[in-house]
Amino acid sequence: MVSRRDNRRAGEHAVVLGGGIAGLFAARALADHYAAVTIVERDRLPREVVKRRGVPQGQHSHGLLMRAADIAEARFPGLTDELITDGAKAFSAFDDFRAVFFGNVLHRSALGRSSVAASRPFLESHVRARVAALPNVTVRDDAAVAGLIAVDGGIGGVRVMRREADEEPIRADLVVDAMGRGSRAGAWLESMGYPRPREDQVPVDIGYATCHFRLPLDAVGGDRVILVGPTPARPRGFGFAAQEGDIWVLSAFGVGKDNHPPATPGELLTFAAEFAHDDVAAVLRRASPIDEVATYRFKTAVWRRYELLDRLPAGMLSIGDAVCCFNPIYGNGMTVAAITADLLDEVLKRGTRDLPRRYYRRVGRMLRTPWWLTKFSDIALPPVPLGSSGAKSLLHSGMSRVFRAAADDPATAATFLDVLNMDKSPVHMMEPRVAAATIGLRRPFGARG
């Protein structure tokens, strides 16, 4: 429940730029601290569950990692049951979630961690409905952000434009940039005399291709989600998952231009079937897509290092992909959005003094580990133009041993899941039982995946 007393503590008005997942989680956090919250979204938001222009990756396979699902349930009590009632498919690791990393199927044991599988538009529409129902939140869609309003020492609002309308100022105590990887906040701040954040980058050149099928829930036995990651010898992979409405989604991907999946249905199914397990390959060879293939290209993972800036304007923050946009094959974009919104809530509980610096320091510490973990995973793949051949070989060897151990040992699989979900540091992979399982391996790498 939103408390008016808490609202008054931080300020009268907060504005969120962007009505996607990051913006919605941010608005939910801000609603506990500001008297009014306005979400400004460029797209005209649909009433029905359909893809929208501002989320070009929306057709492709999405899912809430377990930690994101936990945060969503805490912020929106009852959301998980609501999603399932409306058609989302529940799954748990690794009971009905088949995960294949570096050619190894992670240990198939129930670990007590669950989430839901559904399309991005379905998830977003349900979260948006919850946020829009908050008494102090207003959603203004079909409104483009033209720029920021400068005040002494920082930012005091934004300028917005609607179709065929004059530019309109919206004053705010806090502006939160949730405009995603294409955020213009850095350029706007630079034009106002503030430094632009350094950008750390990993050039991955991922190509995606996606189509959907109408299949029974037991199309591949008891599994609801199947994820096959790339290997150095085969830098390709796919996600195959049940969604709402008796629909299954196939999102295939490849690292490097020569490995991008084809854009025609028949060729795409052949592409994925070549390295799928036999039961999945059989389903794919018989399946008939119900739509055209949607493609998406992601060239570079980017971390905007706001936490390193000496000068930060008061009254403005960035969140989610606007701060750090990972290689999408790791599926942690919505998790980063949820966690950064939680961090914003935590720093606001201590007041607004030096808010940007305190917030970015927390975000920087949180991002450090997943950034380096995913970067090392990317470098191990030959098409990624980083790292020497020796470094790639060393990373390949080390990661192969870890994933072989995770295939045999439930404790290693459970710890890896916690690391993947950003619940634990990779340091926990050195816990005695996990380390023993990894170091004690004698079987050569090469399991089929």
Domain CATH for 135:
3.50.50.60
Q: Where does a domain end: 375, 410, 429?
A: 375
In a domain, 178, yes or no: yes
Judged against a pLDDT cut of 50, whether residue 447 lies above it is answered with: no
Q: Where does a domain end: 283, 298, 313?
A: 298
| CATH code (residue 291) | 3.30.310
What was the pLDDT predicted at 52? 40
Q: What residue type is 20 in one-letter code?
A: G
For residues 206 and 153, state if they share a domain: no
Burial of 165 (0-12, 13-18, 19+ CB in 10 A): exposed
In a domain, 83, yes or no: no
Lowest-pLDDT choice from 1-5, 77-81, 406-410: 1-5
In a domain, 383, yes or no: no
Mean pLDDT of 19-36: 97
Lowest-pLDDT choice from 109-123, 182-196, 267-281: 109-123
pLDDT category of residue 219 using cuts at 50, 70 and 90: very high
What was the pLDDT predicted at 241? 94
Q: What does the alpha-carbon distance between residue 449 and residue 378 come to, in Å, rounded to a whole number? A: 18
What was the pLDDT predicted at 49? 61
For residues 349 and 397, state if they share a domain: no
For residues 159 and 276, state if they share a domain: no
Q: What residue type is 120 in one-letter code?
A: R
Share of the chain above pLDDT 90, in %: 65
Judged against a pLDDT cut of 60, whether residue 319 lies above it is answered with: yes
User: Radius of gyration of the chain from Cα atoms?
Assistant: 22
In a domain, 6, yes or no: no
Range of the domain at 135: 11-64+119-198+305-375
Q: pTM score > 0.85 for this model?
A: yes
pLDDT category of residue 182 using cuts at 50, 70 and 90: very high
For residues 193 and 206, state if they share a domain: no
For residues 221 and 179, state if they share a domain: no
For residues 319 and 359, state if they share a domain: yes
pLDDT category of residue 7 using cuts at 50, 70 and 90: very low
Higher-confidence residue of 426 and 55: namely: 426
pLDDT category of residue 28 using cuts at 50, 70 and 90: very high
For residues 50 and 142, state if they share a domain: yes
Taking alpha carbons only, the member of 10, 57, 64, 13 closest to residue 39 is 13
Mean pLDDT score of the chain: 88
Mean pLDDT of 45-70: 66
Mean pLDDT of 310-319: 96
Q: Scan for tokens 């290689």, then name that residue.
A: 327
What was the pLDDT predicted at 331? 84
Structure-block tokens of residue 66? 């377990």
Backbone angles phi, psi at 286, to 5 degrees: -95, -15
Lowest-pLDDT choice from 95-104, 205-214, 354-363, 414-423: 414-423
Across 323-434, the runs of DSSP E, i.e. the strands, are 324-325
What was the pLDDT predicted at 214? 93
Mean pLDDT of 262-268: 94
Judged against a pLDDT cut of 80, whether residue 239 lies above it is answered with: yes
For residues 255 and 175, state if they share a domain: no
What was the pLDDT predicted at 442? 43
What was the pLDDT predicted at 294? 92
For residues 39 and 181, state if they share a domain: yes
In a domain, 70, yes or no: no
| Cis before 94 (ω within 30) | yes
Judged against a pLDDT cut of 80, whether residue 6 lies above it is answered with: no
Taking alpha carbons only, the member of 16, 49, 24 closest to residue 143 is 16
Question: Tens of pLDDT along 146-181?
Answer: 999 999 989 999 999 987 778 899 999 999 999 999
Higher-confidence residue of 276 and 441: namely: 276
Q: What does the alpha-carbon distance between residue 208 and residue 206 come to, in Å, rounded to a whole number? A: 7
Judged against a pLDDT cut of 90, whether residue 109 lies above it is answered with: no
For residues 206 and 339, state if they share a domain: no
Taking alpha carbons only, the member of 200, 183, 197, 201 closest to residue 312 is 197
- Number of Cβ within 10 Å of residue 209's Cβ equals 26
What was the pLDDT predicted at 4? 42
Lowest-pLDDT choice from 144-148, 296-300, 371-375, 414-418: 414-418
What was the pLDDT predicted at 59? 64
Instruction: Return the H-helix or E-strand segment holding 138.
Output: strand 137-140
In a domain, 247, yes or no: yes
Q: Where does a domain end: 244, 267, 298?
A: 298
Share of the chain above pLDDT 70, in %: 92
Higher-confidence residue of 266 and 389: namely: 266
The total number of structural domains in the chain stands at 3
